[in-house]
């Protein structure tokens, strides 16, 4: 299984739902990106709300291993929901697996450079 499989699967689903990413105008793409960016943030927040010890004031002392395991499963479900929206964003931007991987590698290299050379400040490419 690959990232391209996820991209292709999500595109098929979105096509079924009536969204053809290749036919969106610039205005439609912008609106879609904004909407799905909000949805992505919402799913990440839902994941955090399922997280044990999320609320510093809440008493979690009665939570056992089973409860923690159940919450972890709920967090995973929310993470996958977030992934769906992230993939939609990648699709609107016209990205495929090779571009995502190449850009990830480039950004990862930059992140290492920043960590190894904090005196450089913000370095962008």
Q: Distances from the Cα of 80 to the Cαs of 19, 36, 47, in angstroms?
A: 20, 14, 10
- Based on its alpha-carbon atoms, the radius of gyration of the chain, rounded to whole angstroms, reads 19
Residue 53 three-state SS = coil
Which among 3, 25, 7 has a CA at the least distance from the CA of 15? 7
Q: What is the pLDDT of residues 20-55, one digit of tens each?
A: 999 999 999 999 999 999 999 999 999 999 988 888
Domain spans of the chain, in order of start: 3-94, 96-125
DSSP character for 58? S
Are 7 and 98 within 8 A, CB to CB? no
Place 95 in a pLDDT band, splitting at 50, 70 and 90. Answer: very high
Q: What is the pLDDT of residues 59-70, one digit of tens each?
A: 888 889 999 999
pTM: 0.86
């Amino acid at each position: 299984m690959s990232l391209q499989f996820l991209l292709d699967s999500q595109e098929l689903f979105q096509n079924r739902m009536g969204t053809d990413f290749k036919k969106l105008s610039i205005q439609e793409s912008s609106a879609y990106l904004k909407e799905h960016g909000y949805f992505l943030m919402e799913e990440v927040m839902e994941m955090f709300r399922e997280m044990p010890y999320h609320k510093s004031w809440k008493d979690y002392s009665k939570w056992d291993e089973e409860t923690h395991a159940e919450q972890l499963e709920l967090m995973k479900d929310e993470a996958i929901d977030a992934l769906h929206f992230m993939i939609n964003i990648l699709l609107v931007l016209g990205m495929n697996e090779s571009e995502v991987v190449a850009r990830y590698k480039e950004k990862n290299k930059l992140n290492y450079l920043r960590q190894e050379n904090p005196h450089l400040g913000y370095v962008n490419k």
